[in-house]
Structure 1
Amino acid sequence: AKSKSTNETSLRYTNDNGGSGKLILRLYAQSHLYVPHITDVDVSAGIVAMIHDNTQLPLIDVAGILLEPGRKHKLGYKKKQYKFLPSPYTYCTTDIPRPMRAMFDQYEGADYAYSQGVCYTLCTQAYIYEECGCVNPYEWSARSIVLRGTSKIAEAPLCNLTDLCYPVAGLKITKTSSIWDQYCSHCHQECSTVTFALMKSSIAAPSMPFIYLTKAHVESLSIPLPANWSTNWLSEIQNNYVSLEVVCESNQVENYTEEASVSAVSVLSNVGGHTGLWIGISFLSIMEFIEMLYRLCRYEFHSMKRILMNKFNNNN
């Protein structure tokens, strides 16, 4: 995440000091510590990765990429940036609502920007809280609620997983346009967004020499080993080892900038051009017409003034 205290001199790049320019990660899932204890859902061991801008709160459960164990993955990316015109051309915004600001403050030191997706989550949580007195536990980080009728920010409690109120309320707000407009009408599009076009590839890993290095490393950790490690260590490594390389495929950034097709000057030019073309009116003609009205009004004023003066003199 971008730090609030970040400046140009504090940024570090993967090619600093002769680096390769790649982000290289070698990860081990340790699936035996948690997979056997989860029985109510289908759980698979692996790694979830996401490439995002450092001002964007990573919604990894929505946009994350699943990486299979036993393989060396490569993610090549190209950056794209979209910029939209502000009001009155679009309804885009950069203003961060108070509940979102309170949520971002939980990530100490992070300088996140406005996100429409996060705004939708928070407004949905606000409605669920109104209906149930608690919020969706799966969105545990989005608990900042503005209490109705006040400006106070409150941390809402999480609903029990077995509570049926929060899924019903969440479905109701998404299906009812009047409720959605009441709670989420302020969630406009971002004025600037950054996306990354990804190219994914992978090969089998680790290699046999590296398997023994991985075995020695896993055994050196203080983490308990599986009960059958001595006989099944090879399959355990293949089912838990994930290698990842993240590479920038191009230094060029694709910029898509929205521009007004008709400016204020163009509007005036079009109005003047069409009036001159169809009814023969030009700017000079308009000024002459205004001058004529002025002279007529002035003449009428002086005429009325003379009449009133004559009546006044005759009465005297």
Structure 2
Amino acid sequence: MSWSTLAFAQVSQAVVNGTAREVVTVARGIAQAGGGETTALVWGPGGAAEAGRELVGFGADKVYCCELPGLEWRQPDLAAVTVAKLIKEVGYRVVVFPSTARGADVAARTAALLSAPMASNVVSWELVDDTLEVVRPVFAGRATATVRLSGGPVLITVRSNVFSPRPAQGAGVVETMAVEASSAEGRRGVRVTGFEEGRRDRLSVGEAPIVVSGGRGLGGPENWGLIEDLAEALGPDAALGASRAVVDAGWRPHDEQVGQTGKTVSPNLYIAVGISGAIQHLAGMRTSKRIVAINRDPRAPIFGVADYGVVGDVFEVLPALTEAVREVREGG
């Protein structure tokens, strides 16, 4: 039985994000290791076909593009029914989804429809004795579990910013797949009736090369301007992040949360300001290339993973750092 794979790539309009490239890269790797082919299912609104052509450049042998009107492309039950039908028709052995909120939702629904085994939040994989062996974090990232998935189909969701997207040479075929929302059988559950786009004057925290994150050490939302000033000084490549405590307190929106229950990030530079470093937060940012921690407590766990640490009052350190960054960028 060949290791044919299917990658579920949800896109917004014609935009292919890093997550879509990652799932195709993982699916391609598994297929190549097992002598199979890789198919990508691009799911989105109008413009999905253009995104599909880009994914051919990441190793997809075939791309099916599903373009849906209105809010239909945001309905997880319709996506799950479509994916399950394609799996039954073609016989894919492994199906790869992103570990985003929407990707995990569709993956779980698909697994239920097929009564298929599923492993979530995968950080590595290997083919062992005709089984797919995956590793996933457990206990808030304090340990890992190795899971073997046998038979097929098996479903996995892959953790964001763990697998680097890798372009590949190929001449894959791109086809449009019609989806009849009104006639789809097996649709169950929540219906999306509206969607409001979040503020996007900066890069998403999950994709930015630089992330400046703040914690409860800032004292209150009225002091968040210190974080914004530093991010602005660092330039358009910097995004804002936040600890779970800050989000739970209502200071910042959930889409900025970094950690086990938020976004997993791996930027070139991660600056943690007033964040003590709970294990759940560390699980979401410890793979950053360079970590700078600013905290007044020298025993804060965040210093255990930091490349550079500043022990001091954030209200004194941050303005000085911001001014120094501005001087460097302005050539002063």
TM-score band by shorter chain is under 0.3
Larger RCO, structures 1/2 (Cα 8 Å, 6+ apart) = 1
| Larger-gyration structure (1/2) | 1
**Bigger strand share:** 2
**TM-score, normalised on structure 2?**
0.19
**Bigger helix share:** 1
